[in-house]
Amino acid sequence: MREKLSEIAHDRWSGWMLHLFSNGIFNNDGTWTMSALAVERWLRQATTGYTDLSESEKDTDRDEADRVLEILN
């Protein structure tokens, strides 16, 4: 079970990183730039408690919880 949960943790992280990178610009010097809109959105979400998120934002977290519950059941 530990390895399965570890796999989910990695999948979540790698999926997030790919999503993050797809919402920015790779610069010629190898750095990456995120748009101000993305910064504003994700900073707001990161500093908002779960109960105060929109239902669609909660659904994303619920989907992740469902993946873990599948393993535990």
7-50 tens-digit pLDDT = 989 999 999 999 999 999 999 999 999 999 999 999 999 999 99
pLDDT mean over 60-69: 91
* HSE (side-chain half, CA atoms, 13 Å) at 20: 12
Torsion of CA 5, 10, 11, 12, to 10 degrees: 90
Would you say residue 1 has pLDDT above 90? Answer: no
* HSE (side-chain half, CA atoms, 13 Å) at 49: 2
- Provide the H-helix boundaries in the chain: 2-22, 36-46, 55-72
Would you say residue 71 has pLDDT above 90? Answer: no
Q: What is the pLDDT of residue 54?
A: 96
pTM: 0.73
